[in-house]
Amino acid sequence: MTHEYIDLQTVAHVQGAVRLPGSKSISNRILLLSALSQGDVDIVDLLASDDTAVMLAALRSLGVQWTEEKTATGTIHHVKGVAGVLPNKSADLFMGNAGTAIRPLTAALAVIGGDYTLHGVPRMHERPIGDLVDALNAAGTNVEYTGNPGFPPLHIKQGKIHAQRLSVRGDVSSQFLTALLMVAPLMARDHAISIDVIGELISKPYIEITLNLIRRFGVTVEQNGWESFTIQPGQVYQSPGTIHVEGDASSASYFLAAGAIAGGPVRVEGVGKDSIQGDVRFAAALERMGVQITMGDNWIEAKSNGVLKAIDADFNHIPDAAMTIAIAALYADGTSTLRNIASWRVKETDRIAAMATELRKVGAIVEEGPDYIKVTPPAVITPATIDTYDDHRMAMCFSLVSLDGAARKGNVMRINDPKCVGKTFPEYFAAFAAIAK
């Protein structure tokens, strides 16, 4: 898609099934764990997107060998594990705007040591990484800022790990704790390593994904609630042989919300009731809004029961999928409040500000606070041109505003820069069109 915008015709009803692309969070975690492990790993259904391309390119620059095999049903990536010893001791790595790539990779390179530079697009240089770097440097690594302190770009040199306890703030980004957990076995060569979480830990379901995958690569993590985590010495990541990437539960939210808003049933395939992703809890939020949800082992389906009920809820556990609730609120019977979403402000863009601005364009009354947003639906949704802020989730969310009753047929919603969906779901608009016939 090379257009600078896409026009979406108003649609009164949606129905169908969508096969989800692989989860971005799972894909980039599995790639790094595979690279660090002993033995070769076959990764089935890795997400093909900007963020995974960044991680694959970085691993290649570091001397990790991988090949991609296309099969009749999808793809298999064959990764040769380096058992925690990177072939290339120096590299200049471009990380785009991929938080799921730069944060764990920074931790891994800092602990392994070498001469590495990491940088990205301008927005990446505005996304905080200071809490992670502080925790690493306090343990003996040698990471320097080459721009603004607390933010990429970074220069990593050889350090010497001496600490047995690390501490990291839990209330800025769960990716900092994820990064430390993933590299803790590399640090726990001779003695146990404990990681303490300072303050409230946000986005706990993403830590659950991390812990699940670390265990699948053969490392045991001892957990004291959400306050601290301990890794005993002498553990090494081992190849699980073949590992499958689940469908992306955050991406599922758009199609489930479409079914909720415009009839359905809409079924997403690739994620279900046994998912390791917390974002499947999005379905429970839709149920609270009056939507009929059914689930199988590998699918979820949403069907409308009429006008949605307004919701007032804490969305700290599913911040990415919660953006879709802010759009569903346009179709509710009153004011909806999404609470405890401060992490929106340090994502691909300031998502609270961006969401408020664009919701107002379509006629909503919006109140934004430091960590909440209140959305009062308009009597009539106004056609508008939506800006997306180089944020894939803004583009996908606002596609849903084209779902509307027959009374306003012929209206057009324009989405600027639709190609930003390439970060996680390059084929999104084709998949959306397939259910919006």
Consecutive H or E run containing 177: helix 174-187
* Three-state DSSP state, 205: helix
34 assigned ligand-binding residue: no
228 assigned ligand-binding residue: no
174 assigned ligand-binding residue: yes
345 assigned ligand-binding residue: no
* Three-state DSSP state, 18: strand
Residues taking part in catalysis = 320
Sorted by sequence, the CB contacts under 8 Å of residue 421 that are 6+ apart come out as: 392, 395, 396, 428, 429
417 assigned ligand-binding residue: no
DSSP 32-96: HHHHHSBSEEEEES---SHHHHHHHHHHHHTT--EEEEE-SSSEEEEEE--TT--S-SEEEEE-T
Report the distance separating Cα 114 and Cα 155, nearest Å: 10
408 assigned ligand-binding residue: no
19 assigned ligand-binding residue: no
374 assigned ligand-binding residue: no
Q: Check residue 114 and give left, alpha or beta (phi > 0: left; psi -120 to 50: alpha).
A: left
Strands (E), 257-402: 263-269, 292-295, 299-303, 312-314, 336-339, 365-368, 372-376, 385-386
**What's the residue count for the chain?**
437
173 assigned ligand-binding residue: yes
371 assigned ligand-binding residue: no
351 assigned ligand-binding residue: yes
250 assigned ligand-binding residue: no
103 assigned ligand-binding residue: no
Binding residue numbers for 3-phosphoshikimate: 24-25, 29, 173-175, 203, 320, 347
- Binding-site members for phosphoenolpyruvate are 24, 99, 127, 175, 351, 393, 423
Binding site per annotation, positions: 24-25, 29, 99, 127, 173-175, 203, 320, 347, 351, 393, 423
